Amino acid sequence: MSAPAYCRQVKFLMVIIGGAADEPIPDLDDRTPLEAAATPGLDALAQSGRVGRVGLIPKTATPAPHTARAALFGHEVTGSEPGRAALLAAARGVDARGGTLLAVDLLSVTGEPGDLGRDGRVVSVGAEAMSEAEATALVQDFAAELGDRFPGFELHAPIDGVAIAVDRAATAYGRTETVAASELIDYAWAPSLPDGGEGGERLGAFVGLSHAFLTDHPINRARVEQTLPPVNMLWPSGPCIQAKLDALDSRFGRSTLVISDDEATRGLAIASGLRARPAPPASELTASAVAAFEDHEVVVVTVEAPDRASRRADWRGKIESIERIDAGVITPLSRALSETFGDEGWRSIVVVDHATPCETRQTDSVPTPFLMSGAFVRSVVRRPFTEAAAAESDLRVEVGHELMEFFLRSGLRGR
């Protein structure tokens, strides 16, 4: 269904801030990083717009960033939405028809190969400080080592520390339970090994083989000699099938572009029938987003730094990342929209997709704040853009997938 003509006169910008919500931190006088950060750009938008909160991850769903973003893109979260591996495959053009997809994270862990005791811990996820060429060599060499022991198991080269596997061997994964690698940082890995049925047995063996092979790989031996962390385990998770989603352009009647450095988000966009491209350098983001409105009515920009800081339990880094987003994304984009389209020619929404508390380092399903401003958005109550202020607001979107339609249609009337 096409959007009414009066709606088409407005350009829409959505900025998704990954994992920015948190819990009060004692070292911050019981404030959250979002409360402690200096954010004049967000403050200005909040004064002229409306602050509310949205529930993007239902209690019945596994808390995961891509689940929240599926809801933000307008998909009802029912538990059958595509897994992370399916979204990565969509972004990379991997054809997994007839097979089961798995995301395979490159980990640095402690503990000896073959020892499934509880001493070994996950130090880092994503091949930190390792070149793409080295990471690719590790994965390709291990794939060759697997040989006939894992028939039908395809292991694709990693990008940004994540490989994709396609299991075409008709392995039964219906009873298999896995844990995302991002949830394991600084935790023991053995208790979270894949488990359940034929799939759990197959993946558990895969992890053990990867640990033994990679620990003794020449690249890792050289890294240890240089006091660099080895990438010594491959961690598969989230078995799923190839993504298939409703086309959102036709549902909302607007052409949409997603600009994101997060590969799973780009895959979600592609699977949803939207256009997607990687984010340019920070200095070019504003110009790139504004230029995109020449061909699109909706532009979505994502920023991931707060979530990454949370995964490191780095509340100082989280505050700094929020302040950089405010100064380098929110403020210049808001100014450029006003200068380009006038006061009533644009509308924006800034939304935190999920909470990642620094204390737990894990995705939380609690409702999160959003801030809508621009054309025909006014509030008689002035609130800051914080978790507490959003919780006090009477503007609540309890069903997350309804937020996009609320953003695109609410308050827009014939002039």
60-82: pLDDT as tens digits:
888 999 999 999 999 998 877 78
Query: Within this chain, do residues 227 and 255 fall inside the same structural domain, yes or no?
Result: no
Which residue among 193, 220, 240 closes a domain? 240
| Residue 116 pLDDT | 63
What pLDDT shows up at residue 252? Answer: 81
Lowest mean pLDDT among 116-120, 256-260, 383-387: 116-120
352 located within any domain: yes
Q: Are 200 and 292 in a shared domain?
A: no
Q: Is the pLDDT score of 87 beyond 50?
A: yes
Check whether residue 249 and residue 236 sit in a common domain.
Answer: no
**What's the whole-number average pLDDT of the chain?**
92
Among 215, 240, 265, the domain boundary falls at 240
Q: Are residues 293 and 403 in the same domain?
A: yes
**pLDDT, tens digit (0-9, with 9 covering 90-100), for 215-254:** 999 999 999 999 999 999 999 999 999 888 887 776 788 9
pLDDT value at residue 69: 96
Question: Is 70 inside any structural domain?
Answer: yes
Do 314 and 351 sit in the same domain of this protein?
Answer: yes
Range 277-296 average pLDDT:
95
Q: What is the CATH number of the domain that holds 56?
A: 3.40.720.10
Query: Do 74 and 109 sit in the same domain of this protein?
Result: no
pLDDT band at residue 5 using 50, 70 and 90 as cut-offs:
very low
* Residue 63 resides in a domain: yes
Q: Distance (Å, rounded) from C-alpha 209 to C-alpha 214?
A: 8
72 belongs to a structural domain:
yes
Q: Are residues 389 and 252 in the same domain?
A: yes
Percentage of the chain exceeding pLDDT 70 = 96
> Does residue 371 fall inside a structural domain?
yes
What percentage of the chain carries pLDDT values higher than 90?
80
pLDDT higher than 70, residue 193: yes
The residue among 113 and 208 whose pLDDT is bigger is: 208
- With respect to residue 87, please indicate whether it lies within any of the assigned structural domains: no
Q: What is the pLDDT of residue 378?
A: 83
- Please tell me whether residues 189 and 279 are part of one structural domain: no
Q: Looking at the structure, do residues 186 and 260 belong to the same domain, yes or no?
A: no
- The domain of 326 spans 5-81+245-409
Judge if 203 and 105 occupy the same domain.
yes
Q: Tell me the average pLDDT across 91-97.
A: 93
Statement to judge: residues 353 and 393 lie in one domain? yes
| Residue 148, pLDDT score | 84
What total number of domains does the chain contain?
2
The whole-number pLDDT of residue 7 equals 46
- What integer is the mean pLDDT of 89-112? 94
Boundary (domain end) residue, out of 205, 240, 275? 240
Give the pLDDT confidence score for residue 112 in this predicted structure.
85
pLDDT tops 90 at residue 414: no
Is 89 among the domain residues?
no
What is the mean predicted confidence (pLDDT) over 183-196?
A: 92
> Is the residue at 172 inside a domain?
yes
pLDDT at residue 165, as a whole number: 97
Q: What is the pLDDT of residues 148-177, one digit of tens each?
A: 889 999 999 999 999 999 999 988 999 999
Q: Are residues 234 and 273 in the same domain?
A: no
Question: Which tens digit of pLDDT belongs to each residue from 105-131?
Answer: 999 999 888 766 567 999 999 887 799
